[in-house]
Amino acid sequence: MNFHKENKELQSLLDNSSSESTYLNNLNIHVGNNEHENIVKAMRKFGERVLFCTGNRAMRHYGFLDIYLKLFSKFNFRVVYYDNISVNPTLKQMEEGLTVAKEFNPDFIFALGGGSVIDTAKVISVGLFGDIWDFVEKKQEIKKAIPIVASATTSGTGSHVTPYAVITNTDTLQKKTLKHDLLLPKMSINDLDIIKYMPKYIIATTGFDVLCHATEVFTRNECTNIAENFCIKSCKSIRENLVSSYNQDSVKNKLGMIYADIYAGIALALIGTHVPHAISHPISARFQNINHGHSLAYITAETAKKLIEKKNSNLNNKFRFLSDILGGSSDFVRAVNNYKQLLGLNSIHTFNDMDCQLIYEDTLGYRRDSVDRSPVVLLDEDIKDIIFHSLKNDNAKINKGHHL
Ligand code: NDP
Ligand code: MN
């Protein structure tokens, strides 16, 4: 089973680049539908005791929890499932899942969900061998993990193809990223049968996340030719599929967004993000009902506006190039606002000055390293401007979106 070979473009990009990166060589991506039985059979090689992580609503509602439980039973796996996983999953939820895992002693974890579920599974897989927050704070080194099989149900966070996991600590009000090669899933499954049930709002927020991965990586000074190619592929697919996938129930568009997510996720794993992600995490850490893609929708246009004002010709050429690919406008700020409008990503929260100040302090505090990855130097005052302008004036309300 190696579905991605069917996608010649993805395969040729991987073939041309994988000799340069162990990470690319370790990718094992499957895109398909109606393959649940084959997927379960393929998991046999990881053992017979499976911890099944999933969310507590959608997968149960659409019957996939049941389908997988029955298949695990048919093929004689021993299964325990854990489903207390929310949007922006918390350290406490991950520790609760870890307690379940320690009692059961799984050989591997099957994660069926969006980024929240996949990240929880990743954290449990290493948490079995040390303290989770000590890993995040680098007080302990990750040395061991049990394998993860990830079936992404959103398109997406790229989490199924990255060695990252994002954790919200509700005691310290921080949202931090754990990084380690061992966090990369051994199998990354994209099942159209499941992804097709994403509600419109999740298509919008996760699609916007994909757009940010591709455009932030592309504008990083460290971006390589290989990563650039993945970003460009992703942006092309976003233009062709994101808004249509939001507006109409088309399998072709949903498949297009699966690939946009994979391409951007690979670029993300190779290079990483910068300022919009650095600010979005403190927003979601303090306001946990604001999901990841929506927090990015607040920040991205104002960040680009501030960066463009710095008049770095190389960077501004990159922004122009990206807006040409994304469509809607030759101006990147307008192009982004246009997507926000077309995807209905308006403000859902009223932020006061104190909220903005705290998010600013968090950003310069525990996300400082991500801010420092900005392609041009941003002063503390610039970051403050971005946060106050983004959160207090909602651009999407001002600009009327037009079709791409
Ligand atoms: P979530 O996993 O939080 O899912 C959002 C909601 O969508 C949930 O309510 C979920 O249901 C529902 N849902 C998911 N899939 C489907 C489906 N196919 N049909 C119907 N409903 C569905 O969203 P994201 O994927 O955006 O994940 C966000 C998290 O990922 C954040 O914490 C973010 O920081 C992180 N992230 C991780 C990255 C990484 O590399 N590790 C990169 C970028 C972001 P239910 O309630 O049942 O779960
Ligand atoms: Mn993201």
Task: Give the closest residue (by CA) to ligand 1 atom 38.
Answer: 159
337 and 357 part of one domain? yes
Percent of the chain with pLDDT over 70: 96
| pLDDT tens readout for residues 156-173 | 999 999 999 999 999 999
Last residue of a domain, one of 195, 221, 244: 195
Q: Is residue 143 included in any domain, yes or no?
A: yes
Alpha-carbon distance of 326 to 336, in angstroms, equals 9
Structurally, the chain folds into a number of domains equal to: 2
Half-sphere exposure in the Cβ direction for 392 (13 Å, CA): 13
Q: Residue 247 in contact with residue 259, Cβ under 8 Å?
A: no
Query: Mean pLDDT score of the chain, rounded to an integer?
Result: 94
Strands 78-82 and 49-54: parallel
| pLDDT tens readout for residues 207-263 | 999 999 999 999 999 999 999 999 999 999 999 999 999 999 899 999 999 999 999
Distance 284 CA to ligand 2 centre (A): 12
Q: Is residue 16 included in any domain, yes or no?
A: no
**Bridge partners, residue 142, by sequence:** none
170 and 243 part of one domain? no
For ligand 1, say whether the CB of 272 is within 6 Å of any of its atoms. no
One-letter amino acid at 281 equals H
pLDDT at 395: 43
For ligand 1, say whether the CB of 276 is within 6 Å of any of its atoms. no
Alpha-carbon distance of 293 to 211, in angstroms, equals 10
Q: Is residue 15 included in any domain, yes or no?
A: no
Beta-strand ranges (E) seen in 1-95 are: 29-32, 49-54, 78-82
Quick one: average pLDDT of 10-38? Answer: 89
242 and 330 part of one domain? yes
For ligand 1, say whether the CB of 295 is within 6 Å of any of its atoms. no
For ligand 1, say whether the CB of 93 is within 6 Å of any of its atoms. no
pLDDT at 17: 85
Structural domain harbouring 259: 200-392
Which value, in Å, is the radius of gyration of the alpha carbons in the chain? 20
Strands 108-113 and 49-54: parallel
Select from 12, 10, 16, 396 the least CA-distant residue to 237.
10
105 and 210 part of one domain? no
Alpha-carbon distance of 264 to 322, in angstroms, equals 14
Percent of the chain with pLDDT over 90: 88
Q: Is residue 1 included in any domain, yes or no?
A: no
Distances (CA, A) of 204 to 144, 181, 185, 322, 344: 36, 29, 25, 19, 8
| pLDDT tens readout for residues 305-358 | 999 999 999 999 999 999 999 997 889 999 999 999 999 998 889 899 999 999
Task: Give the closest residue (by CA) to ligand 1 atom 22.
Answer: 198
Q: Of 148, 166, 189, 203, which is best to mutate to test ligand 1, by the most ligand atoms within 8 angstroms of its C-beta?
A: 166
Last residue of a domain, one of 195, 230, 255: 195
Q: Residue 277 in contact with residue 216, Cβ under 8 Å?
A: yes
CATH of residue 185's domain is 3.40.50.1970
Distance 297 CA to ligand 2 centre (A): 11
pLDDT at 13: 85
Q: How confident is the model at residue 402 (pLDDT cuts 50, 70, 90)?
A: low
6: pLDDT strictly greater than 60: no
74: pLDDT strictly greater than 50: yes
Distance 204 CA to ligand 2 centre (A): 13
Distance 121 CA to ligand 1 centre (A): 13
